[in-house]
Amino acid sequence: MTEESKSYGLAWFLAGLGVGALVGILYAPKSGRETREDICTGAREGTEYLRARTRDAAEGMSTLVDKGKEQVSAFVDKSKEQMSGYVDRGREVIDRGRAQWEEFVEKGKNLVTEQSSRVGAAVDAGRQAYKTSTATTDESETHEY
């Protein structure tokens, strides 16, 4: 079946439905006034039913929104607590790292000072040895003449 023939079939079905409803109303055992009153009553009841269902749906949605807000609020509060814990742990790690760094710097300073004094002592010893060796060489040169 093509798309066009399906739409024609649906149109004929709806036309037949309308004709059937019209014939049913015309041959109904009730008078026209009673039938119209029944139709109006049904329409009012349907309208009232829809209003009640709409109110129920709105209340249900309001309840769902309130629950959602509570859950989001609880989640946010829990997340804040977790983040606070992470921040505290981070600060502790930074403090420990800073203390270790200061300790390493102090040890480095001490090592540099110690090595400086050793190098200074070695330089002094070298000067003394040089003076001693040059003094001995000078004395031996003066005695030979």
Q: What is the pLDDT of residue 70?
A: 92
Q: For 5-26, what is the mean pLDDT? A: 79
pLDDT tens, position by position, 56-77:
999 999 999 999 999 999 888 8
Sign of the dihedral defined by the CA atoms of residues 42, 43, 46, 52, in that order: negative
pLDDT tens, position by position, 88-115:
888 999 999 999 999 999 998 999 999 9
Q: What is the pLDDT of residue 143?
A: 56
Report if residue 135 sits inside a domain. yes
Please state, as a whole number, how many other Cβ atoms lie within 10 Å of the Cβ of residue 25. Answer: 13
Separation CA 134–CA 145 (nearest Å): 17
Report if residue 65 sits inside a domain. yes
Q: Name the pLDDT band for 139 (thresholds 50, 70, 90).
A: low
Report if residue 24 sits inside a domain. no
Report if residue 34 sits inside a domain. yes
* The total number of structural domains that make up the chain: 1
H-run or E-run covering 62: helix 32-144
Q: For 112-135, what is the mean pLDDT? A: 89
Report if residue 56 sits inside a domain. yes
Mean residue pLDDT across the chain: 84
Q: For 8-25, what is the mean pLDDT? A: 82
Report if residue 59 sits inside a domain. yes
Question: Which two structure tokens, joined as six digits, stand for 8?
Answer: 């024609």
Report if residue 12 sits inside a domain. no
Report if residue 3 sits inside a domain. no
Range of the domain at 107: 30-139
Please state, as a whole number, how many other Cβ atoms lie within 10 Å of the Cβ of residue 3. Answer: 6
